[in-house]
Chain A
């Protein structure tokens, strides 16, 4: 069945270092979404990418959608302690309105 994978599972960085998480789908996606879940909280929508090769920026966060629309990445420049949390990518499933989430990348930032 359709799968969405993410690497790495965990990442520990020193504050100020950069961070990247990668998302790969077993099937071509019409769009990809990214969510952030703070420790003890719930996932919050960050962004959606739709076009092949699309790049979007939100302050220190850069999101990319691959040319084949099967992979995506989230890059954080100069991490801060406020970036701590788990980052999930998600893509539409085969059923209408169903969403497939990746397993997430948990980011820890050491001050």
Chain B
């Protein structure tokens, strides 16, 4: 099946630890995105990448980092510098001007 996978679905971490969220796509899309969604809120763009080895900061990049070493993969690291990391994280890719979303990772920092 073609699509976007994110793992894990639920993630618990202690405060002060870095954590990396996985995002993989087999849609052959060039553009990939990371969004953060808080309860009852919309989607806020963290980072996006238009091509391998290139990425740009979104609206709330502070405390996050990404890499794009392969077209299929766009992992997001939530660093200890992110003051309020507990949220729902959505990865997406773009093709034919549509965004395709993965199932998301719910991160809880204890």
Contacts and interface: CB of A to CB of B under 8 A. Distances in A.
B98 interface: yes
Pick from B42, B50, B102 the residue with the most CB of A within 10 Å.
B42
Question: Chain B binding site: helix, strand, loop or mixed by DSSP?
Answer: strand
B101 A43 contact: yes
Nearest to A1: B59
Interface residues of A, number: 22
Residue among B30, B33, B40 with the most chain A CB within 10 A? B40
B90 interface: yes
A43 B43 contact: yes
B7 interface: no
A88 B100 contact: no
A45 B100 contact: yes
B98 A48 contact: yes
A111 B98 CA distance: 33
Given A42-B104, A43-B90, A99 B40 contact: no
Interface string B76-101: 00000000000000100010011111
Nearest to A100: B45
Contacts, number: 48
A42 B50 contact: no
Nearest to B104: A42
A48 B42 contact: no
A2 B73 CA distance: 29
Contact of B101 (A31, A33, A44, A97): A44
Interface of B: 30-31, 33, 35, 40-43, 45, 48, 50, 56, 58, 90, 94, 97-104
Given A41-B103, A88-B43, 11 more contacts: A33-B97, A33-B99, A42-B102, A43-B43, A97-B31, A97-B94, A98-B45, A99-B33, A99-B99, A101-B43, A106-B40
